[in-house]
Amino acid sequence: MRIVVLFAHVCLALAGAEGVNFYAAETFGSKRGDQNPEAKNFSIEAISAEATSSMGTISAKISAETVGGNQSAQEISPPKQYFPTEQITTILGTLSPEAKNSSAEAISAEATSSMGTISAKIPVEAAGGNRSAQEISPPKQYSPAEQITTTLGALSADIQKLWLAQKDTVVKVMGVKKSSDGQENLLFGTGFFADQNAHVLTTATIATDAETLWVEYGELSYAATVIGKDPVTNIAVIQLLKKPKQFKAVAWPQTPSAAAAEGSIIVSIGSAFGMEPAPTLGLVAGKNIVFGDRIFVTTYLRSNIPIHGGESGAPVLSSGGDLCGMLIASLPELHASFSIPVRALERVFKDLISNKMVKYCAAGFSVRGEISEAADKEVVISAVDNGKIRYIGGEALEVGDVIRAIDGQKIVNESDIADILFFKKPNDRLDIQVTRHKKPLQVAITLSEKNF
């Protein structure tokens, strides 16, 4: 039995305001030869082709069925987000010998896309001379304005779905602080359930300032107590004295090291000025460890989500609904904010639960960035405090050493060292690979505790 297989050859063309078009108009098949009995008895009852384009992705599925009832099917599905040329290579590479020797005389496919419109016409001619045709044509070609409306509508639906799935993890954090004249001032912030023990992550600001603290969840209020707080990152953990009958904790991602990339869509859910939690859409604008004269202990995410009063402590979610950080600080001049990434947030949360505080490490040396003779940036040791460094082995650090790697991780910027130290604890070992006078050296030290 021979199998007829459709190939899609795709060419990419840009057509100004019309958008991106994909064309598939080339077919392959066995050459016409003498018709043998086997070929004459071959009849195709059903051939289906589906060509979809989503800015460069195409999938094709072709099924063939013989008259005698025996079935044979071949599915070709190139990986998502391949360039058209890569898709063609993938499709051709998956052909079986039987498919390449198909008895079909001619198979052609044409798939065109103009910003969301697709038409496909597949004429099929079998070796015995029988012809069949199937035409797929969407009823309408959408204008650019309609396409934008459709895209925004789909995004809005995704945000609503995310909001409905995550809104029950968010709480309003309320407190009262007495002023020097005895007047009571109401404080408000945002938090979210971090585990099933009713621990809530929020800012250290409200946990420190409030003399009386409670959480509003649903239509009820719950008294809360401070478990631990870290003024360095402005993170605190509080716990409800009585659990709600039903509540939902955030799901910590399985791979928290994958931080949101620049340009990624994110959503925060905050309680502005004590109002009910609501979603805010934004983009990751960058990653910073230095802002003005302030140096953070680790790299923070900067986004164009503004923080209004009470929204600090809000969870920041990816467009897929994964927790990727927490709103920490406002940048009102830029209508922006800083968020601590989820991996760093999780580290602080675990330390506050177990130790009620966070201990940081001191390396005992300072660094600066320099440009090498090869025009590459290098991280060079600018100062060493040998009185505070505990060396392991005979090698010691010297001013002018170029740091190449720490614990096997390549060092490109000064922030790389800060990010590594953030996840270390006092008395941890640090293996440093340096270059001194163009010769590689290995130096090992024991980290001490850093005091702020």
Q: What is the CATH number of the domain that holds 379?
A: 2.30.42.10
Are 37 and 93 found together in one domain? yes
Please write the tens of the pLDDT for every residue from 405-445: 999 999 999 999 999 999 999 999 999 999 999 999 999 99
Are 322 and 389 found together in one domain? no
Cα separation, 313 vs 328, in Å, equals 6
**Segments forming the whole domain that contains residue 274:** 265-345
What does the pLDDT read at residue 158? 85
Q: Residue written as tokens 């094709």?
A: 60
Are 72 and 119 found together in one domain? yes
CB 24 within 8 A of CB 109: yes
Model confidence at 139: pLDDT above 60: yes
Are 323 and 368 found together in one domain? no
Within a 13 Å sphere around the CA of 120, how many CA atoms are in the beta-carbon half? Answer: 25
- Mean pLDDT (whole number) for 366-374: 83
Q: How confident is the model at residue 197 (pLDDT cuts 50, 70, 90)?
A: very high
Tally of domains within the chain: 3
Kindly state whether residue 213 falls inside one of the protein's structural domains.
no
Phi-psi region of 387 (alpha: psi -120 to 50; beta: other; left: phi over 0): alpha
Are 320 and 391 found together in one domain? no
Element (H, E) at 64: strand 60-65
Pick the more confident residue, 78 or 264. 264
Kindly state whether residue 169 falls inside one of the protein's structural domains.
no
Are 311 and 434 found together in one domain? no
Are 318 and 415 found together in one domain? no
Question: CA Rg, the chain, in Å?
Answer: 31
Kindly state whether residue 81 falls inside one of the protein's structural domains.
yes
Kindly state whether residue 203 falls inside one of the protein's structural domains.
no
| Confidence (pTM) | 0.67
Kindly state whether residue 82 falls inside one of the protein's structural domains.
yes
Kindly state whether residue 99 falls inside one of the protein's structural domains.
yes
Can you tell me whether residue 250 is helix, strand or coil?
Answer: coil
Are 282 and 340 found together in one domain? yes
Are 338 and 405 found together in one domain? no
For residue 88, which phi and psi values (nearest 5 degrees)? Answer: -60, -45
Cα separation, 362 vs 387, in Å, equals 12
| Residue 435, strand partner residues | 402, 440
Are 296 and 392 found together in one domain? no
